[in-house]
Amino acid sequence: MRTASSHHLRFLRAWLDSPLRVGAIAPSGKRLASLMTRDIGPACGPVLELGPGTGAFTQALLERGVQERDLTLVERGEDFIGHLHSRFPASRILRMDATQAPVEGLFAHQAFGAVISGVPLLSLGARRTTALLSWVFPCLKDGGAFYQFTYGFGCPVPACVLARLDLVAERIGFTVRNLPPATVYRIARRSSGTCC
Ligand SMILES: C[S@@+](CC[C@H](N)C(=O)[O-])C[C@H]1O[C@@H](n2cnc3c(N)ncnc32)[C@H](O)[C@@H]1O
């Protein structure tokens, strides 16, 4: 059985290898995972997770009642892929750069009820953040939302990017019980309700 300390060790190794991509020295804690998944449950249907790492949010989604087979995990780092396959064997795991548009048809068969993202947007910059959001939002159901955490001050999606894509961001929580403390944003289409 895998322990929290083995997740930490794997994460730290990945960070030493690629600090900018991994963006943190430890996986997110339970409190942040709980905030990130607060609005998500089985009624959402399929959920897309970007940058799952060792699966801190993935596990929280399962604990919220989301079916493992309803999860699509998009991870760029090869260092996490095998681990994700053995920890979440029924989910769909794609090794992919979330800032690149997916090949045509990859997500054609399902619309997601929610997207949760651990990708460090602050290190991506506006152009790559725009590229990521530009393919993700068309994959979301009407009323679906994108959840993102940040260690920074303010929303990690620049205001000009939100305006260009007609999105709005709402700060939904903050926790000091994480290393480092983190804030969670919910980003949605300007004119949408909620779907789950
Ligand atoms: C800060 S870690 C968060 C990991 C996990 N969600 C957590 O909270 O513990 C960032 C994760 O995003 C992944 N990542 C970074 N850039 C990415 C990209 N362009 N596409 C997909 N995954 C990416 C990293 O490999 C890493 O797993």
Domain boundary assignment for the chain = 4-189
d(CA 188, CA 142): 10
Please choose from 22, 30, 80 the residue to mutate so as to test ligand 1's pocket, defined by most ligand atoms within 8 A of CB.
22
Encoding tokens for residue 195?
A: 């779907």
147 lines ligand 1 (CB under 6 A): no
83 lines ligand 1 (CB under 6 A): no
113 lines ligand 1 (CB under 6 A): no
51 lines ligand 1 (CB under 6 A): yes
Q: Residue 128 CA: which ligand 1 atom is closest?
A: 19
pLDDT at 42: 96
Summarised one tens digit per residue, pLDDT across range 139-174 is: 999 999 999 999 999 999 999 999 999 999 999 999
Beta-carbon contacts of residue 126 (< 8 Å; ≥ 6 apart): 158, 160, 161
Check pLDDT > 60 for residue 92. Answer: yes
- Report which of 23, 25, 21 is spatially closest to residue 10, judged by C-alpha positions: 25
Angle at 53 between CA 145 and CA 62, to 5 degrees: 60
Q: Report the percent of the chain where pLDDT is more than 70.
A: 99
Q: Residue 74 CA: which ligand 1 atom is closest?
A: 21
Average pLDDT over the chain reads 94
Hey, what amino acid is at 3? T
d(CA 176, CA 161): 28
CA of 27 to the centre of ligand 1 (A): 10
Check pLDDT > 50 for residue 196. Answer: yes
Angle at 173 between CA 83 and CA 126, to 5 degrees: 70
Check pLDDT > 80 for residue 195. Answer: no
CA of 167 to the centre of ligand 1 (A): 22
Beta-carbon contacts of residue 34 (< 8 Å; ≥ 6 apart): 60
As assigned by CATH, the class of the 4-189 domain is alpha beta
Summarised one tens digit per residue, pLDDT across range 28-48 is: 999 999 999 999 999 999 999
Q: Report the percent of the chain where pLDDT is more than 90.
A: 90
Question: Hey, whose CA ends up nearest to atom 8 of ligand 1?
Answer: 28
55 lines ligand 1 (CB under 6 A): no
Q: Residue 80 CA: which ligand 1 atom is closest?
A: 27
Among 94-98, 103-107, 116-120, which stretch is predicted with the lowest mean pLDDT? 103-107
State which H helix or E strand residue 144 sits in. Answer: strand 140-150
Q: Residue 116 CA: which ligand 1 atom is closest?
A: 6
Check pLDDT > 60 for residue 1. Answer: no
